[in-house]
Structure 1
């Protein structure tokens, strides 16, 4: 019987020698040896931190100044938008002239109100089958010579309308008169005060245009409150003076609500942000809202501070965040100071009554030893300061009232919780230590502690 050898090598053939046996054993051991995992694979917490950092980085866009909320998302300016849209509606129905001037300090929502009102009237016209208003946006700050504004206006009209390209008022009026009867031209003039000249001729001619041309409306914005009054003496028609609508700075609750709204929009797009407790954002939002509301009420500054805060947190979270409550709060105070949000804090502390200033000093001295302390500890420090000055100290109930109203409302201190036993309520200094020192240094009575 002839035995044929298989083309495949048997197990005995492979391990016929002692050398091959050792090699195979070593190879098997190397395969069974556990593979070394990377840092991210071996540490799920690290992987989550990286995702959270990326989400914070992306979420910062909702606090960017370039983000424009829709009219249904506007907070604190609903009444103003309603008034503007109502005037636009009457004007588009040929029931009234359109000459409106919005004024207010920077960051009070002037441009936002204009855009939201136009969005509202456009939706209303579409629903009712009416012709849309043709808006012409012009930032007067970009015009080097006010007299060239006429050519800027005609350049934004339709091709069939731009029959005259000269920068004279006469040719601009001729171009407007060639527009179809039902079309309304709304001149949205931002930074109107840049058109002020010695004789006020350009400004006055524009303000008078809604009364000589029913198809033209003026919706202007600027920081100056008295601009229409200054131009009134040069107007040929006194009635041509526009209706002035001053906008007040944003208040604490409005700023806080806007910040929460942007956070909710960010969380809807980036659910990973839910891993950061809302209380962490609450402390930072309250600090920023209080500081800015009591100083300038500029919502743009508040949004920019939070945007910078999220960018800073995105860099720090992978290495430093371990769930601390004060993680965002600490950075918020620093960013506020860098961006000028605390410029008026020196004046506010300097204008406080003596015992309130002394309470701020006590808080400063305690904060140098610990970041968080109880009201009982703060009151003991205040009593000690009064003793060194040989002055009677206020009662504890008066002290609590000062902390819960004046110092807290001014954004100087932060109180945590509303416990029945007020002595156990925890407190921290929100204002930068250097800011407090700068406010108290002019008073010689505090010199020995600063």
Structure 2
């Protein structure tokens, strides 16, 4: 079977170009000239063996923050090698990190990989200070200058009993490191977040020592997304893409926050679907199938990693939106449905304020957005949630959780209808 498939004519020539995380050449970076220039200007001082400033890159997911940082650091590294400057980039994604200690360990692991040396500290059973010491040892012994990239930093919250979030404590320690007499390496930090208000949660000590230069990234529009896809068109063999493929993929991605990752994923999945069908062309129909598949995969990736309580909050709100005419959900109505869900499966029940805060946290995943509203003096104030994906897709994905699966969709729908009637 392997040989049989190997002999088939494929449509994809270079799969790396269809990987959204692949660091592409500068001429393939589209619609981000201003941000590219700003970041280059600020990080290029490393070429003179000086410390670059700390940066805070913020804006919606898939708008080029990580891509541009990696591309600039890659070019700086190449030039530094010709100047006998030991430059390194240490990057971690904070989305799946639970505590500060795990975050520091991951930084030490990536620093060891970048330096091609052995890591000499354990992941568990070791004090966080020992992990910091190991990170600084590796950096100090192997680099003249290092840029530490903290992607999705706002996701590193840490233990809830701590007054200050873990990402604030991480920034404080890292930004103080360059002033340490025992550390000769120039250390600068690039903090990346989808949450424009992340810095409001940073403690005063961390804020005064971090003092970053801000770079804002906006959504891509449909035309910019088309340009991005056209610059990666050579990932496919000549003539295999129907004319409608790139405009349609760009239009789908533009509808959901102008996410370039989604646009690239769509054409990649469409190409894979065409190959599996044995087709010699990628058509509009392949893109439409890819849209359904990518949407479900993205939601699944997000909801798999959240707690059962967050899933119940999300399920209740999506259930209301799915039955609403405009696919929105009031926080007051969503909370009453949430109460029904928790009672149905005998789960702990949050107060309404906590439910609302959990739903607000979902905005960092780009699953929901919200506005504060009031429908007259008798209704009071409430939040109105809107979903970035189809609410039905979110419900279908959440039902893969064993506890959520215990809920009867018909019963939930009946409760939702009753609550929506009460709204009127």
TM-score grouping bracket, smaller chain normalisation: 0.5 to 0.7
Q: What SS does the aligned partner of 2:39 have?
A: helix
- Residue 230 of structure 1: which of 201, 209, 223 is its match? 201
**CA contact under 8 A between 2:177 and 2:187: conserved in structure 1?**
yes
Question: Do the aligned partners of 2:222 and 2:254 also contact (CA within 8 Å) in 1?
Answer: yes
Q: Structure 2: where are the runs of 5+ without partners? A: 300-321, 328-391, 393-424
Post-superposition Cα deviations, 1:167-225, rounded to whole Å, max 9, x if no partner, equal: 31873686379548x71122222221233343336234235326625721111222211
CA distance in 1, matches of 2:273, 2:119: 50
Kindly indicate whether residue 92 of structure 2 is the aligned counterpart of residue 138 of structure 1: yes
Residue 218 (structure 2) aligns with: 248
For residue 190 of structure 2, what is the aligned residue in structure 1? 219
Task: Between 82-91 and 65-74, report the one with greater CA deviation.
Answer: 65-74
CA contact (8 A) 1:161 1:178 kept: no
What residue is the counterpart of 1:314 in the other structure? 275
- CA distance in 1 between counterparts of 2:17 and 2:47 reads 34
Tell me: CA distance 1:215–1:296, structure 2 relative to 1, closer, same or farther (3 Å).
same
Q: Distance in 2 between matches of 1:288 and 1:227?
A: 31
Question: Map of 1:1-12 to 2, 5 A cutoff?
Answer: none
Q: Provide the alpha-carbon RMSD of the alignment.
A: 4.3
Give the drift of 1:145: 2.1
CA 1:161/1:62 → structure 2, altered by over 3 Å: closer, same or farther?
closer
TM-superposed CA distance for 1:294, in Å, is 3.4
Per the alignment, in what secondary structure is the counterpart of residue 283 of structure 2? Answer: helix
Summarize deviations over 1:128-166 as a string: whole Å, max 9, x none: x24031222223234332134444444535599989886
Q: Is 1:287 the counterpart of 2:241 in the alignment?
A: no
Question: Which residue does 1:111 correspond to in 2?
Answer: 66
Q: Deviations over 1:24-69 (max 9, x none)?
A: xxxxxxxxxxxxxxxxxxxxxxxxxx99962315556642446442
* Larger Rg computed on CA atoms: 1
Matches of 1:172 and 1:203, distance apart in 2:
15
Secondary structure of residue in 2 paired with 1:224: coil
Counterpart for residue 418 of structure 2: none
1:194 aligns with 155
User: CA distance change for structure 1 residues 177 and 295 in 2, over 3 Å: closer, same or farther?
Assistant: closer
Q: Which residue of 2 aligns with 1:185?
A: 146
Greater Cα shift, 327-336 or 154-163 = 154-163
Asked if the contact 1:91–1:98 (Cα under 8 Å) also holds between the matched residues in 2, the reply is no
**Aligned twin of 1:205:** 172
Deviation at 1:286, TM superposition (A): 0.9
SS of the aligned residue for 1:175 comes to helix
Relative to structure 1, the CA distance from residue 300 to residue 174 in structure 2 (aligned partners, 3 Å threshold; closer, same or farther) is closer
Asked whether the equivalents of residues 46 and 76 of structure 2 are also in contact (C-alpha less than 8 Å), the reply is: no
Deviation at residue 74 of structure 1 after TM alignment: 2.1
SS of the equivalent of 2:35 reads helix
Q: 1:259 aligns with which of 225, 229, 239?
A: 229
Asked whether the equivalents of residues 57 and 215 of structure 2 are also in contact (C-alpha less than 8 Å), the reply is: yes
Closer/same/farther in 2, CA of residues 302 and 294 from structure 1, 3 Å limit = same
Q: Quote the Cα distance in structure 2 between the aligned partners of 1:113 and 1:227.
A: 20
Instruction: Please say if residues 192 and 220 of structure 1, whose CA atoms lie closer than 8 Å, have aligned partners that are also in contact.
Output: yes
1: distance between equivalents of 2:72 and 2:39? 6
Q: Is the 8 A contact 1:108 1:297 kept in 2?
A: yes
Deviations 1:352-403 (A, max 9, x none): xxxxxxxxxxxxxxxxxxxxxxxxxxxxxxxxxxxxxxxxxxxxxxxxxxxx
Aligned to 2:382: none
Distance 1:194 1:77, change over 3 A: same
Unaligned runs of 5+ in 1: 1-49, 268-272, 352-433, 435-450
TM-score by length of 1: 0.52
Partner Cα distance (2:14, 2:81) in 1: 34
SS at match of 1:285: helix
Q: Secondary structure at the match of 1:339?
A: helix
- Distance of 1:179 and 1:64 partners within structure 2: 34
Question: Which residue of the partner structure matches residue 101 of structure 2?
Answer: 147
Q: The residue matched to 1:56 in structure 2 has which SS?
A: coil
Picking from 165, 171, 186, the partner of 2:133 is: 171
TM-score normalized by the length of structure 2: 0.55
